Amino acid sequence: MAKGKNIDIQFPPPFYKICGKHAKYFKSEAQVCIRQKAPLQVNSWSEIAKDDVDEMWKHIKDALSLSDEVKEYAMKQIQSQYKNKLYHLHQLYLKKKGRPKNVSPDDWNWLINNKWSDLKFQERSLKNKVNQVGFSNLVQGIGTRLVYPIANGISR
């Protein structure tokens, strides 16, 4: 996406989830932002320094010409993608696939020795795994593509 072009990215109520013609550009840029600016050596999003969060907002805001009005919703989306990244890294570790090239050895070792080896983390993972079995037969009723029509009362 060329810088300075008018892009269609929205966070419509009541869900405030990313949608619009160019939502994929937001998600792609958020991944770049997370890879470059989000620290991995924290136990949760809430432990990330305010300066780092502000730097991520500046990156995504400048890259996509977003207004400050959508900061809260954009940052929630980035937080969600950050959590997904950690989940996928953990899955790679569990499957013994090795460290991805875009994760430093220091970060990878910290995740293994501090985050994933933590007793609380392991208990929560086991509890979530057990809980997920009970929901395995449910069908998802809403997805990114459907948010805008549902939020605006538009039927398909």
Least confident residue range of 24-33, 67-76, 88-97, 118-127: 118-127
Q: What is the pLDDT of residue 100?
A: 95
Q: Is 56 exposed, middle or buried (0-12, 13-18, 19+ CB in 10 A)?
A: buried
Domain ranges of the chain: 23-151
Q: What is the pLDDT of residue 86?
A: 96
N-to-C CA span, the chain:
28
Residue type, position 4, single letter: G
Indicate the pLDDT class of residue 27, thresholds 50, 70 and 90. Answer: very high
Residue 153: strand pairing partners: none
CB 74 within 8 A of CB 11: yes
Measure the CA–CA gap between 20 and 144, rounded to whole angstroms. 9
Q: What is the pLDDT of residue 26?
A: 93
Measure the CA–CA gap between 24 and 83, rounded to whole angstroms. 18
Residue-wise pLDDT for 117-153, tens only, equals: 999 989 988 888 887 776 666 565 655 555 556 566 6
pTM for the structure as a whole: 0.80
Least confident residue range of 1-10, 14-23, 33-42: 1-10
Least confident residue range of 13-17, 29-33, 48-52, 145-149: 145-149
Mean pLDDT (whole number) for 19-24 = 88
Q: What is the pLDDT of residue 79?
A: 96
Query: Does 4 have pLDDT greater than 70?
Result: no
